[in-house]
Structure 1
Amino acid sequence: MPLRSDHTYGILSSLLCGLLLFSTLATAQPRYARADSMAHALKGAPLHDLYGLAQQLTLGLTMEEEKFRAIYTWTVQNLKNDTQLYTRTMNARKRLAHQPERLQAWNRRMQPKVWDQLLHKKKTLCTGYAYFLSYLAEQVDITCVPVAGYSRTSKNNVGGAGLVNHHWNAVHLNGVWYLCDPTWSSGLYRLWGKDDFQDPYFLMDPHHFVLTHYPVDTAWLLVEDPRSLQSFLDAPLVYPAGQREGLMPLRPQGFWVR
C-alpha cells in the first residue's frame, strides 16, 4: 500500500531528528576530553626531560584548566605507588610522631631517595605525587603547591590526636585557588596497585575536600568558616563513593567510642 505524503513526511522528519540526535550524542565530548587524550597519547613517556614532557602534554591547549588537567591525568596514570616506601614512611611517622625535629630530619634524608625512585622507576608515595605534579605544572607557568596535612580513611586519623600523614596540592587557575589530590585520584591510596582514576579529587569543592583532608596550614582549607582539627578527626567518616556523589554529613557531627 503506498504511503501518503504526510505519512512519508512524518517518517522522514523522525529519521532526520533521530540522525541529528545521534550526531549530537556522537560528537558530544566530556569537559576534559582534549586534555585527557593528550595525557593518554603520551602514556609511558620517560622522565629525563620534565620540561619537554610538560610542553608536549599541553601542546595546543590554551586554557589553564585544560593544561593542568593534562598534566594531572598523566601524573595520576603513570606514577605507581611504592608500597615498601609507604610502609617505611608510615612507620617512621608513627614512631617519631612526638619528636617533630627528628621527624623533619628523617623527612629531609628521605626526600632525595623519594625523588630518585620516582624519576628512575616512576614509583612514589603521596609526597612524590604532590611535588611531581607541582614541578610539572610550573613548567607551563601554573602555580601549584604541595600541601601537607592529615587525611582520613577507615584506618587513619579516625578520632584521637591525629597524625600528619599525607600530601596533596593547591593550584592557582584563572585567579582562583583549587584543591586536588593526585594520590587519591590515582586510586592507589588503598594500595590497590592498579589504575583507577578517581575524578572527584580533581579540583574538588573545598567544603567536600575538608571531609577527608585537613592541612597543617589552615589557610589551605580555602573555606570562610574553617572547622577545627579535632572536629575534623572526630567527624563521621565519608568514603570516596559518598564524596563522588557530593554527600555532606549532617548529624551527628562527632562520634564517641565506648
Structure 2
Amino acid sequence: MGCGSSSSSGTEPSNKVKNQQDLKLNYDDFKDIDEHARQAPRSVEESIETLAKYLAKPANNDIEVVRALYVWICENIRYDTNAYFGGNLSSLDTSGKGVLTSKSSVYAGYANLFESLCQALDITCKNISGYAKGYGHNLGEIITFSQDTDHAWNAVRLEGVWRFIDTTWGAGYVDKNQEFIKKFNNFYFLTSPENFIYDHFPYFNSNIEESKQWQLLEKPISIEEYAKQIKPSKEARQYGITFSHPDVIIDNSPCTIIVESSAHPFQNCWFDFYNDKGSKCTDAAIMLCADSKECKTTARPQSGGKYTLCLHAKIKDENTTLAEYIINCGTAESNWKPYPNYGGFYGPTLSFTERGFESFCIKPSYTCKDGKFHLSLKTSSTPEVLVQLHDAENIDHKENLMVEQNDTSINIRSRLLTKGYYKLELLSKVDEKYTLASTVLILNTGESDWKPFPKNTGHYGPTPDFTDRGFETSCLNPFMNVQMAIFIFH
C-alpha cells in the first residue's frame, strides 16, 4: 500500500539505534489519553490545527501526544477500498486536509494526515513510502525496485529515539472480500525497527542509499533479504516468538522448524499443511511439543512439489497464526509412511501436572522396534484415565492396549502389529468429563505377531480397596509373562 516519495520535518535518523524498551511503553498508561482521543467532538475537526491542539491538550509529553494522534486516526479514518480496488487513486485527495474532510483514504492519506498533525505540533516526523507485505502480497514472491511502491508510513523521533508508526494497519485490515475491517491494534504504534522490517521496506526518491537509512537498523538489509525472510505475525513479534528458519522458502524435505516462546507459554499449538492444489496434507507433517515453550514441526511430503505450512498457537487466551512457510519438496522418501491425520501437537497439555501427573514423565514421541510399547507414568495423585490408540488410517486398536494403575504410577502397554506411525491419546477425568492430557506419537519399525490383550473395560491392577480386603500392596503384579504359574497371595 505507498506514495513513491518522502518528506520530512526534522532531522535525518541518528546512527545510534536504541531498543524498544528505551521508551518504556505500557499501553495501560495511555488509558486517559486514548479516551480523550476517542471522545473528540466534531467541532475540533474544522482544521488540522484545531484537531492537533485538542488531541495534545491533556498530554504530559510528546509520546502521549503521538499516542493521541495515532488513536484518533485509527479510530476515525476508514480505508477507501472502492478507490484502491477501483483504480481511482489518482482522483483521491490524500493530503492531510483532504483526509480530515473525507474521513477516508488509502495508505498515503493516513501517512499524510499523521505527518500534518505532527507538523502542527512541532513533532519531528518522517513520511516514508516503500514495499509492504500486506494485502495482495503472495508468500515468497520476488520484490524488486522496478515495482511501484505499495505502502506509506511514518517515523517519529521521541526522546531521541526513532520509532515507526503505521496508522493504516493500526486502524484495521482488508479481508479476502476486499472489505475494510475496522480493528484497532497497538502493534504499529512506535514499533521497533527490528520488528518493523519484517513487513515494511522503505524506498523513495529512487535512492537506495537514502532509503535504507530509514530501516533504522544498525545493519540494513537488502531488498532481496527482505523478500525472502518470513513474516511472523504481529502477535508472534509482540510476544518475542523465535523461529529456527528465517527464510520463508525451504528447499529441502523432510525439514523440521523449531518455534520457541520464552516469555509466554504456548497454551495450544497446531498447524495446517497444504499442497499446491490447496488440499490438506496433515498426514505428511507432525508437531512435537515437549513443553509449553518449544514446538518442533516436521514436514515429510509424500511426493515432490510445493507445499505451504501454517503454524498456529494459542497465547494469552488468544488464537493466532505465528508464521507461514513454503516448502519445496524435490523427491519424497522411498519408503514413505503417513503420519496419523492429526493437525494438533504431540506432547503433554499445559494442564498435565495439574491433572495429577508428574512433570517430564512423558515425551511427545517414542520408537519401538518389535511392536512392544511400554509407557510408565509417575503420578502425584490417582487420576482417572482413558487411553486410546489409532494407527495412521485412524483404525482403533483398543484390543492392543492394556492399562495398569496403582497409587504412584500408570503403565500403558500396547502391541503394534504392523510398521508405521500410531497416535496414542491419554485422557483424564476433569469435572466429570474425560479431556485430553497428552498425545503421543509412536513409530513401530518392525512387524510382529503379538496376540491382542483380553478384552477389559477397566484397568489392570488392584482395586482401590485391595488392601482393605486383606492383601498386601506388593503381592500382585498386574502384568505377567509366563508359560505356567501358581499364584500364592499373602
Give the TM interval when normalised to the shorter protein.
0.7 to 0.9
Do structure 1's residue 183 and structure 2's residue 165 form an aligned pair? Answer: no
1:55-82 Cα offsets, whole Å, 9 max, x none, are 1111121210001100110011100010
Contact 2:156 2:164 in 1 (8 A): yes
Q: Given the superposition, is the C-alpha separation of residues 189 and 154 from structure 1 closer, same or farther in structure 2, using an over 3 Å criterion? A: closer
Runs (4+) of structure 1 moved beyond 4 Å? Answer: 43-46, 189-192
Could you tell me how far 1:240 is from its partner in structure 2?
3.0
Partner residue in 1 for 2:152: 167
Structure 1 residues 109-128: aligned runs within 5 Å: 110=91, 113-115=93-95, 118-128=99-109
Higher relative contact order (CA 8 A, sep 6+): 1
Deviations 1:1-36 (A, max 9, x none): xxxxxxxxxxxxxxxxxxxxxxxxxxx981211221
- Determine the structure 1 residue equivalent to 2:186: 199
Q: Is the 8 A contact 1:75 1:129 kept in 2?
A: yes
1:237 matches 2:222? no
| Structure 1: distance between partners of 2:101 and 2:44 | 9
Shift of 1:233: 0.6
User: Is 1:149 paired with 2:168?
Assistant: no
Distance 1:250 1:45 in 2: 53
Distance 2:110 2:246 in 1: 34
* Greater displacement, 29-38 / 188-197: 188-197
How far did residue 110 of structure 1 move? 4.7
- Separation in 1, partners of 2:179, 2:30: 25
Distance change (3 Å), C-alpha of 1:52 and 1:180: same
Mind listing any 5+ residue stretches in structure 2 that lack a counterpart?
1-25, 204-210, 252-305, 307-327, 329-490
Cα deviation per residue 1:177-232 (whole Å; 9 max; x = unaligned)?
Answer: 11111101111354553431110111111101101111111111111011111111
Distance 1:145 1:184, change over 3 A: same
The answer on whether the counterparts of 1:76 and 1:182 sit within 8 Å (CA) in structure 2 is yes
**Larger radius of gyration between Structure 1 and Structure 2:** 2
Question: In the superposition, relative to structure 1, how do residues 70 and 81 fare at CA in structure 2: closer, same or farther (>3 Å)?
Answer: same
| 1:172 CA displacement | 1.1
- Alignment CA distance shift 1:175-1:211 (3 Å): same
SS in 2 for 1:87: helix
Mapped to 2, the partners of 1:189 and 1:172 lie a distance apart of 29
1:250–1:169 Cα change, 3 Å: farther
252 and 224 in structure 1: CA distance in 2 versus 1, 3 angstrom threshold? closer
Q: What amino acid is the match of 2:30?
A: Y
Change (3 A) 1:234 1:206: same
CA distance in 2, matches of 1:54, 1:220: 26
Name the residue aligned to 2:421: none
Q: Which whole-Å CA distance do the structure 2 matches of 1:146 and 1:110 have between them?
A: 21
Q: Is the 1:231–1:254 Cα contact (8 Å) retained in structure 2?
A: no
AA aligned to 2:224 is Q
- Tell me, in whole angstroms, the C-alpha distance in 2 between the residues paired with 1:119 and 1:154: 24
Post-superposition shift, 1:254?
4.4
SS at match of 1:227: coil
Match of 1:215 among 202, 226, 249: 202
Instruction: Give the alignment of 1:1-258 within 5 angstroms.
Output: 30-42=28-40, 47-88=45-86, 110=91, 113-115=93-95, 118-153=99-134, 155-156=136-137, 158-162=140-144, 163=147, 164-190=149-175, 192-216=179-203, 217-255=211-249
Change over 3 Å in CA distance of 1:250–1:238 after alignment to 2: same
Counterparts in 2 of 1:204 and 1:29: CA distance versus 1, 3 Å: closer
The structure carrying a bigger helix percent of its residues is 1
CA distance 1:53–1:120, change in 2 (3 Å)? closer
CA distance, structure 2, for counterparts of residue 188 and residue 253 of structure 1: 25
Indicate the SS of the match to 1:168. strand
Considering fraction of residues, name the structure with more strand: 2
Q: TM-score normalized by structure 2?
A: 0.40
AA aligned to 2:99 is L
| Equivalent residues, number | 213
Q: Residues 47 and 119 of structure 1 are in contact (CA less than 8 Å); yes or no, is this contact kept in structure 2?
A: yes
Instruction: Report % sequence identity.
Output: 26
Please give the root-mean-square deviation of Cα atoms over the aligned residues, in Å: 2.6
